[in-house]
Chain A
Amino acid sequence: MKPLLEVNDLKVYYQSIWGNYKSVDGVSFKAYENEVFSIAGESGCGKSTLVDGILRLVKPPGYIPSGQVIFEGVDLLKLSEEELRKIRFKKLAYVPQGAMNSLNPVIRIEEQMIDAMLDHSDIDEEEAKNLSLSMLKEVGLPVEVARMYPHELSGGMKQRVIIATAIAFKPKLVIADEPTTALDVVVQKGILQLLRRLKEDYKMTVIVVSHDMAAHAQIADRIAIMYAGKIIEIGSIYDIFEDPLHPYTKGLISAIPSMSKKYVKGIPGLSPSPLNWPSGCRFHPRCSYAMDICSKIEPEMKEVKPGRWVACHLYGDK
């Protein structure tokens, strides 16, 4: 399998008078064709900043000190704005966090969809119009929605308009950042299944970024766990839920309340600050397995089994 997206040692920092916030601090992963790849982590771990970095949406005072984002063999970080524009939307689509609030309240849905399409392709208005109607149908919305204004739609319907627009040109890769926050459970289910369908029906690769582990469990093929600006474990969704390796992942999995669990346990301590990550392994101050080495040397990501990566000194040099 060849990767569709390969992120190598990507860093995204924010400058401040107190120093650099190292929000994303050396992240590497590969996303393959036709898979749902999830990125999970708690607030402040850098997952949304990672998405900004991949899509080159980082704005000052943020900057990308180093790293590569290779999409279909091309490093996105090296492209000119114009070259990047040709790839974005057509091949690489983005559903941002709170996307439903990004619609312009005084313009009809259809016009907004057409605008976006014309801006990123050479199709004419008639084609764009037809495309927008068929895309609305694709996401289960009645065609009347085209003539409506955003305030006439519920949050979930708006989210579907955004997804419909994002996938209009059948991009190879869709990145959705917290696609279900602030939506009710019934609507959440619909949106998550819609994202899963992009993989099943259109053979797209979908990267879902969310703090919601239950959502990941429902739709992901593989999952990466982020902690303190790093990815600390990658594996199939089954591996991570059934046999988590990293002590943080173990803690995270056992902290999720569910109907079948009698007792959940939290992870004591605090998430560290991006201004001053702990030395060595960034999780060591909260880790019940911490050894001497953990505070001194930062563990590297190692492939402990095929496709199974973890950054922890417990899983040694074999």
Chain B
Amino acid sequence: MMGEPLLELRDVTKIFKIGGGLGLLGGRIIRAVDSVSFTLPSDESSIVALVGESGSGKTTIAKIILGLLEATSGEVLYKGRSVSEWIKKDKIGYFKEVQPIFQDPYGIYNPIYRIDRVLGIIIKKFNLASSKSEARDLIIKAMKDLGLRPEDLLGRYPHQLSGGERQRFMLTRILLIKPRLIIADEPVSMIDVSLRAIFLNQLASLKDKLGASCLYITHDLNIASYIADRIIVLCHGRIVEDGPKAEIIKDPLHPYTKTLLDAIPTPNPRQRWKEIADLTKIESFRKLKAEEGCIFSARCPYAKEICKAKVPPFVEVKPGRKVACFLYA
């Protein structure tokens, strides 16, 4: 990796306090994100999947990168500059570079305005066009680039669009703004399978069209393995493994990654699960998370003494492959 990274997270931690009203009830502390560090390189565009189960902190990380939440400690740098400061000083400038796509394709639209307005506002805010007709031409070109039919969509209200159309219409926004980095948080979880593929292919095509990188946040390893170049695996707020997609799928190192890969249902009836999951071992989230040492040690089949006492260092074990596990440290 050469030069300054595009995005860099350094020891990012986010702590939420739950309960404990008036300081009488004690409350509980949740480390949603725990010392997370990773970088996206700037010299090549790639799609990096951040994979984790519910409660793994993946959405919290997205929100911190987008300045919607502040990290309790640690730093997020975009092109070497602190994101929170950048947003404070020049919000438009930052979001010209970094654009989100959220999970809920319904929440973005104001139901009483036509969908065109979403793009109209963006063109104005980001100063993308000098006249109305220029703005319209830009929108139509962007939509056609995505295979959307402007004559079918423009002038309609949000409720007249399907989830898939709404989400693809959001890609038009990306195409207009031409960001360098897209933060996509479970963008297809509310889209039907038949339209999901279209969305995923178009998102992937932005890598070539715009030279944009994408941090793709998902719980679905089938999708991650389809779309991503690199996979980062999160477990209870910590990164346990990071490496090229093909290698992680073929040869997962961390026992948690193995567990996840073993559990994904393969959409092929000839490749059914080999082992039966031990139902007595699948318990509640709180009990699953080890309080000390390696976060996965409570349910790791390879756990040793040291795993319960110390946090394993996150180290590079092969070129490009990092893992936090004492099996490799």
Contact = CB atoms under 8 A, between A and B. Distances in A.
Interface string A43-73: 1000000000000000000000000000000
A253 B164 CA distance: 18
B269 A237 contact: yes
Nearest to B162: A270
Interface in B153-172: 162, 164-165
A194 interface: yes
Contact of B198 (A139, A185, A266): A266
Q: How large is the interface on A (under 10, 10 to 19, 20 to 34, 35 or more residues)?
A: 35 or more
Interface of A: 42-43, 139-142, 152-154, 156-157, 160, 184-190, 192-194, 211-215, 217-220, 237-238, 241, 251-261, 263-268, 270-271
Given A190-B277, A257-B196, A220 B269 contact: yes
Interface string B68-111: 00000000000000000000000000000000000000000000
Contact of B165 (A141, A190, A220, A270): A270
B4 to A, nearest CB: 33
A160 B284 CA distance: 12
Interface of B: 53-54, 162, 164-165, 192-201, 219, 221-223, 225-227, 249, 259-260, 262-270, 272-273, 276-280, 282-285
A120 B169 CA distance: 51
A162 B10 CA distance: 44
Nearest to A44: B192
Main secondary structure, interface of B, reads helix
A188 B263 contact: yes
B269 A185 contact: no
12 contacts: A42-B193, A154-B284, A186-B259, A186-B263, A188-B263, A193-B277, A217-B272, A255-B193, A257-B197, A258-B226, A259-B222, A266-B198
B197 A213 contact: no
Contact of A259 (B53, B164, B196, B266): B266
Given A238-B270, A257-B223, A270-B165, A189 B194 contact: no
B100 to A, nearest CB: 22
Nearest to B152: A270
B267 A213 contact: yes
Contacts of B270: 238
B279 A194 contact: yes
Given A43-B192, A264-B200, A266-B196, A140 B222 contact: no
A265 B202 CA distance: 11
A30 to B, nearest CB: 20
A28 to B, nearest CB: 24
Given A188-B263, A256-B267, A257-B222, 10 more contacts: A184-B53, A185-B219, A189-B277, A217-B265, A217-B266, A217-B267, A218-B272, A258-B225, A258-B267, A267-B194
Nearest to B268: A217
B267 A214 contact: yes
Output the residue of B200, B226, B249, B259 with the most chain A CB within 10 A: B226
Contact of A140 (B165, B280, B285): B280
Output the residue of A160, A186, A214, A237 with the most chain B CB within 10 A: A186
A139 B270 CA distance: 26
Given A140-B280, A186-B263, A268-B198, A154 B285 contact: yes
Contacts of A154: 283-285
